[in-house]
Amino acid sequence: MLPDARYHIIHETRYRYASQVSISRQLLHLTPRDCPWQTCLEHHIELDPGPIPGLDESRNDCFGNPVRQFALESPHDTLMVRAESRVELRPRPLPAERPLAGSPAWERVRDMLDYGARPVRLDACRYLFESPYVCLKREFARYAKPCFPPGCSLLEGAQALMARIFREFRFDPKATSVATPVLQVLEEKRGVCQDFAHLMLSCLRSIGLSARYVSGYLLTRPPPGKPRMIGVDASHAWVSVFCPGEDEAAGWIDFDPTNNLLPDTQHITLAWGRDFGDVSPLRGVILGGDTHAPEVAVTVTPDEEPAAA
């Protein structure tokens, strides 16, 4: 089992607008959430320009994710959002302590989530259906079918699907955008972590299984003897599959199709929801601004290394 890990994270987003923005409303998912395997020790968000007093609040969204929302009502041509966090991660129990083969058959899990099944598992059922970036179609069920033969355990099937996506799809940051349909990703077999997460979700939900989208960070390692560069890390995405235990208590197991591994102490969880749209790090509405694009820099530093400035 891996030891506990602590990380210092800086996530900076800067917008430069072609013309002045007069009004801005923003919603942030930049606060790491507390989980059984993760604790957010410190967190701070710096905004420039500063928000209007009384129109700046922190709360939890409907998925339990911490969010920050604020308003700007004075003219500005740039917006800087800098989130700084420290988190502690503990090793997860899989795969040694809970072998994948010991999970329930995937058909059994599908049937317990079917309409009319009792008891109703509300937390799992909210991740069964289509959402703006996830589709339920025969094409996705057909792609998943070889990974889920009759009687296959749920987690072995999910692992096989994860491995197939990793094997058959090419990571290509120029191939897609946030608006690229997931059916196009399936056809062209290229994209980024967000696309592969949406693809795996579409496959799982199309065969009646519950799975959610997870956003966060992945620790990257510099080459041996080289210092860690600042701002070269990025946000990451993976999926979490509903898997009840022997006592039928709901549980969730994470899978990373981009890297073909089960997340552990190198995956830092920010938020989860139905798809990317529910947990976008920064989403908002502006009046004015004309053309603009975000400049994003992320640095994840283990505590044993000097923190980035």
Query: Mean pLDDT over residues 154-160, rounded?
Result: 96
Beta strand residue intervals within 155-220, DSSP E = 170-171, 190-191, 211-218
Q: CB–CB of 241/252 below 8 Å? A: yes
Buried b (16+ CB within 10 A) or exposed e, 209-227: bbbbbbbbbbbeeeeeeee
Please report the pLDDT score of residue 251 as a whole number. 87
Please report the pLDDT score of residue 34 as a whole number. 97
Instruction: Name the band, by pLDDT with cuts 50, 70 and 90, for residue 220.
Output: confident
The pLDDT tens digits of the residues spanning 178-192 come to 899 999 999 999 999
Q: CB–CB of 194/178 below 8 Å? A: yes
Query: Mean pLDDT over residues 263-279, rounded?
Result: 96
| pTM assigned to the model | 0.92
Specify if 285 maps to a domain. Answer: yes
Q: Are residues 111 and 172 in the same domain?
A: yes
Query: Mean pLDDT over residues 220-248, rounded?
Result: 74
Specify if 95 maps to a domain. Answer: no
Separation between Cα atoms, residue 78 and residue 19, nearest integer Å: 9
Q: Are residues 181 and 271 in the same domain?
A: yes
Instruction: Name the band, by pLDDT with cuts 50, 70 and 90, for residue 234.
Output: confident
Instruction: Name the band, by pLDDT with cuts 50, 70 and 90, for residue 153.
Output: very high
Between the two ends of the chain, the Cα-to-Cα distance in Å is 32
Cis peptide preceding 51, ω within 30 of 0 = no
Separation between Cα atoms, residue 92 and residue 90, nearest integer Å: 6
Specify if 307 maps to a domain. Answer: no
Instruction: Name the band, by pLDDT with cuts 50, 70 and 90, for residue 245.
Output: confident
The pLDDT tens digits of the residues spanning 74-93 come to 999 999 999 999 999 999 87
pLDDT at 1 over 60: no
Query: Mean pLDDT over residues 204-223, rounded?
Result: 92
Q: Are residues 164 and 297 in the same domain?
A: no
- The residue range of the domain holding 153 is 100-278
Please report the pLDDT score of residue 221 as a whole number. 75
Specify if 193 maps to a domain. Answer: yes
Please report the pLDDT score of residue 248 as a whole number. 43
Please report the pLDDT score of residue 94 as a whole number. 62
Give the list of residues 6+ apart from residue 285 with CB closer than 8 angstroms, or none: 24, 25
Q: How many residues does the chain have?
A: 309
What's the CATH number where 294 sits? 2.60.40.2250
- Chain centroid, CA 146 distance in Å: 26
Please report the pLDDT score of residue 101 as a whole number. 82
The pLDDT tens digits of the residues spanning 34-55 come to 999 999 999 999 999 999 888 9
pLDDT at 194 over 50: yes
pLDDT at 108 over 80: yes
- Position with higher pLDDT, 275 vs 122: 275
Separation between Cα atoms, residue 61 and residue 273, nearest integer Å: 10
Please report the pLDDT score of residue 54 as a whole number. 87
Specify if 248 maps to a domain. Answer: yes
List the beta bridge partners of residue 38: 35, 89
Please report the pLDDT score of residue 133 as a whole number. 98
Query: Mean pLDDT over residues 115-139, rounded?
Result: 94
Q: Are residues 160 and 43 in the same domain?
A: no
How large is the angle between the packed helices 154-168 and 193-206, nearest 10 degrees? Answer: 140
pLDDT at 73 over 60: yes
What's the CATH number where 119 sits? 3.10.620.30
Specify if 190 maps to a domain. Answer: yes
Q: Are residues 65 and 190 in the same domain?
A: no
State whether residue 273 is helix, strand or coil: strand
Which of 286, 239, 283 minimizes the C-alpha distance to 18?
A: 286
Specify if 124 maps to a domain. Answer: yes
pLDDT at 227 over 80: no
Q: Are residues 205 and 143 in the same domain?
A: yes
pLDDT at 2 over 70: no
Q: What is the DSSP letter of 281?
A: S
State whether residue 43 is helix, strand or coil: strand
Strands 235-242 and 252-255: antiparallel
Q: Are residues 183 and 217 in the same domain?
A: yes
Average pLDDT, the chain: 91
- Position with higher pLDDT, 278 vs 101: 278
Give how many domains the chain has, as a whole number: 2
- Residue 209 to residues 106, 141, 206, 213: CA-CA distances in angstroms? 8, 11, 7, 13
Please report the pLDDT score of residue 97 as a whole number. 47
Separation between Cα atoms, residue 274 and residue 239, nearest integer Å: 10
